[in-house]
Each structure stands twice: as C-alpha cells, then as structure tokens.
Amino acid sequence: MGEVKVIATPQSFPCARIEWALRIKGVEYEYLKEDLANKSPLLLQSNPAHKKVPVLLHHDNPIAESLVILEYIDETWKENPLLPLDPYERAQARFWAKFIDDKCVFGVWGATVAQGEEKEKAIDAALESLAFIEKEIEGKKYFGGEKIGYLDIVVGWMSHWLNVLEELGEIELLTAERFPSLHAWSHNFIQTPPIKDCIPPRETVVEYFSFGINYVRSLEASTKS
C-alpha cells in the first residue's frame, strides 16, 4: 500500500491517535519527529494552512487534522475497521469525536489554566462535557464495542494526558466516583496493546503542558494589566 510517514511529536495526543490507528491496522510507518520550536520545511509545506502536527504522508501526499487522518486510514486499510459499519452508528461516533475536540479538550484545558474566581465555573463546564462521554461508555467495554475503535482513539487522551492536566491545574475531574465507567475505560484502554506500546513518558507531557499553561497565563496577565 505504499510508503507511510507520520510527521509528529511524541508528547502530542492528536499525534498518538495516528500511531494507534496505524498500529491497529498493522501498517508500518516511518516516524518523522518534529521539533515544534523549529518547524521543518516538510511540515510547513505539508500543512501550510495550520503548520501543525500530525501530518500523514502516504506516497508523499500529505493529510492533516487527526480526525481527517483517522477517516483516511480507515478508508485506505480495510482490515480492523475503526468506524462502525452502520451509517447511523458512524454518525454518532463522528458527532462525539467532534464534541470531544470542541468541548472536552477545551473544557479540560480551560479548567486547567483558569485561576481565581473563574476556576470553579471552568471546572463545572469541563465536568458537564465529561458527563456526556460517561453516558456513551456506560455498559460497554470500549466505545467501539468489544474492540478499540475510532471513538476510543479520539477519547484516548483522557487515559494519560488528562491526568497530567489535572495535576498541573490542581483539579480533579475524571474520578472513579464521578465517572465510574469512563474512569474504568481510561485504565483499561491504556493497558491494551497496541495502545500501551505507544504512550509518551509522563515527564515529556508534563514539560509540554507546563510550557503551554505558563504561556496562556502570562498572556492573560498581560491583557489584564
């Protein structure tokens, strides 16, 4: 099926989504590690609109945006389907994937960086978005049913990255008490091959997010002053 390369950075969860999907499919790929502080000409030329990782290169044709790449992988390598086969179930998986990226990621990030009187409101918004995902996983082993699928890959950051954000933001969101099913899923997901073979060391994620949190907070401080 031709040469596959991934332009990525190990601490980024959208990048991990692509590696997980390719490994589930059994597709070999070359990992092109990107230095985000000094972006490569290949990245800038492959994703001129966003200049962001991940980018998948298949026969040197670039594809960007992690959810778009997941669909491409699923359509190109048919074994071990990621999306459900039924159109209505596919639509539900896509709906929740967009919800994850629009609401949960930004909700958790907002709760992490918020300070002062805004903190509690931001935590409530994050919890409200997570409650929808709890309902989706209730009574199931994986979002994909008996096997890891598209939506598991999209929610996957909650099994590793979310906990780092909780620590850095001094908040508690995904607890066993609040969200028993999602909490159990998050521990199960990260133990499952091939996911567990492809998780960045915690300290690199801490370093990456610490930089981002300090940056956002300093921006906000300068706007307010």
**Near a copy of itself by CB under 8 A: residue from 17, 25, 52, 103:** 103
Q: State CA 122 to chain mean position distance.
A: 20
Give the one residue of 39, 94, 178, 202 binding a copy of itself; rule: CB under 8 A: 94
Site membership for a copy of itself, residue 124 (CB under 8 A)? no
Rounded-to-10 torsion of CA 78, 82, 85, 86: -160
Compute the least distance from the CB of residue 203 to a copy of itself, in Å. 31
Chain centre to alpha carbon of residue 91: 19
Specify the residue, 65 or 152, whose C-beta has the smaller distance to a copy of itself.
65
Q: Binding residue for a copy of itself (CB under 8 A) from 44, 91, 184, 219? A: 91
Q: For tokens 């031709």, what's the residue?
A: 2
What CA–CA distance (Å, rounded) separates 43 from 5?
Answer: 12
Task: In angstroms, give the least distance from the CB of 58 to a copy of itself.
Answer: 7
Residues sharing a CB contact under 8 Å with residue 200, sequence separation 6 or more, in sequence order:
10, 11, 16, 160
- One residue of 76, 80, 163, 192 binding a copy of itself per CB under 8 A: 76
Q: Does the N-terminal peptide bond of residue 54 adopt cis geometry, omega within 30 degrees of 0?
A: yes
Residues that bind a copy of itself (CB under 8 A): 48-50, 58, 61, 63-65, 67-69, 71-72, 75-76, 87-88, 90-92, 94-95, 98-99, 103, 132
